[in-house]
Homo-oligomer: A and B are copies of this chain.
């Protein structure tokens, strides 16, 4: 008899029929003798619908009130789910963030979980109930509703699994698991049976959207095994676990890509101490995350700086940089939104030299120019022209031996 935390994403609870199907599956697990705690997202599309309502009344949503609004999405699904379970003759009780409670800081829209009380959840489990917890939301010490940001329901599920000392945290979604790359681009993509937390974190941060990166970080920190699987097939999916020896046999575990990239270059920047800070501080003050940075030294005390940012922040960042460039006497500012980032990820890289070189070679042989490079212990990322994205992904996937047999 195990204790399982099951999280169902928006596409798994998109309408009442799907909610009833989820209830059936949870009850089946319960009948097998397992205790189940369910964490639910809002119906798919609902959060966007609510954000659109908010935009209609206020240009920039008040963070506290937006959280009050968005929290209704999960409130709806947990109550409907509890009813669906009860319709089948089993007991279920919904729990909102403030009812568990899931204590967070007051950083509305991206709150961090501080503590989760286990008392009420354990009492519900003990009395045979299936607790249905609202994902994505928490409560501040003053009783205000907070939300954890996009993907926050994954974090809720993992955090609850950790505090309840669950045996496993299952993340149900609309795909069969984590793939070696995006099957929409590469039909030969394979489902990965087992992947390490580190690799999963890199994949998530590089554009694979199946799991929220914070939830993986959380799971890794507490050693909570994750199982990413489909609520439509209920087949075995991808286990995200501690790295083990068998994994090292694979050089590259996955190929990811992101089109959400833009590049800004400032040429002939006077190369004096504090110049970089002068450029990047105002950008980070505007909450724009800079990804890669490259600096090329020119003749004299001049340098060229190139960096990438999310494409959605392009206009804002250009405005900031143009102002700064004038102040520091740089020559000019150029930008490019037609770029993409392709990456290879694998813990095997740690013990094998030449993986990056092989990647550059593959791209070169396909006539793909590399604009920027960034590496970590277990990944290599290359910025390329966006039009080469599919070609690059397919070439890397095949030549690193990830294609279906």
Taken together as a complex, chains A and B put the C-alpha atoms of A145 and B99 apart, in Å, by: 10
Smallest Cβ-Cβ distance to A69: which chain B residue: B79
Contact with B along A61-98 (1 / 0, CB 8 A): 11011101101100110111111101100000110101
Interface assignment of A272: CB less than 8 Å from any CB of chain B: no
Taken together as a complex, chains A and B put the C-alpha atoms of A56 and B94 apart, in Å, by: 18
Smallest Cβ-Cβ distance to A71: which chain B residue: B75
Smallest Cβ-Cβ distance to A145: which chain B residue: B96
A87 x B16 contact (CB < 8 A): no
Interface assignment of A288: CB less than 8 Å from any CB of chain B: no
Taken together as a complex, chains A and B put the C-alpha atoms of A53 and B145 apart, in Å, by: 24
Taken together as a complex, chains A and B put the C-alpha atoms of A332 and B58 apart, in Å, by: 64
Q: Which of B50, B76, B99, B144 contacts A53 (CB 8 A)?
A: B76
B57 x A84 contact (CB < 8 A): yes
Number of A residues near B (Cβ < 8 Å) is: 40
B62 x A82 contact (CB < 8 A): yes
B76 x A69 contact (CB < 8 A): yes
Q: Take A58-B84, A83-B58, A143-B99 as given contacts and tell me if A76 and B65 are in contact as well, using a CB distance cutoff of 8 Å.
A: no
A83 x B57 contact (CB < 8 A): yes
Q: Take A53-B16, A98-B98 as given contacts and tell me if A79 and B58 are in contact as well, using a CB distance cutoff of 8 Å.
A: no
Of A17, A72, A75, A79, most buried by chain B (CB within 10 Å of CB) is: A79
B94 x A80 contact (CB < 8 A): no
Taken together as a complex, chains A and B put the C-alpha atoms of A307 and B330 apart, in Å, by: 90
State which residues 296-324 of A face B: CB under 8 Å.
Answer: none
| Chain A interface residues (CB < 8 Å from chain B) | 16-17, 19-20, 23, 50, 53-54, 56-59, 61-62, 64-66, 68-69, 71-72, 75-76, 78-84, 86-87, 93-94, 96, 98-99, 143-145
27 A–B pairs (Cβ distance < 8 Å), ordered by A: A16-B57, A50-B76, A53-B76, A53-B80, A54-B79, A54-B83, A57-B83, A57-B87, A59-B87, A61-B83, A62-B83, A64-B93, A64-B94, A65-B79, A65-B80, A65-B86, A65-B94, A66-B79, A66-B83, A68-B75, A68-B78, A69-B76, A69-B80, A71-B75, A98-B143, A99-B143, A99-B144
Question: Which 4 pairs between the two chains have the least Cβ-Cβ distance?
Answer: A16-B56, A58-B83, A68-B79, A69-B79
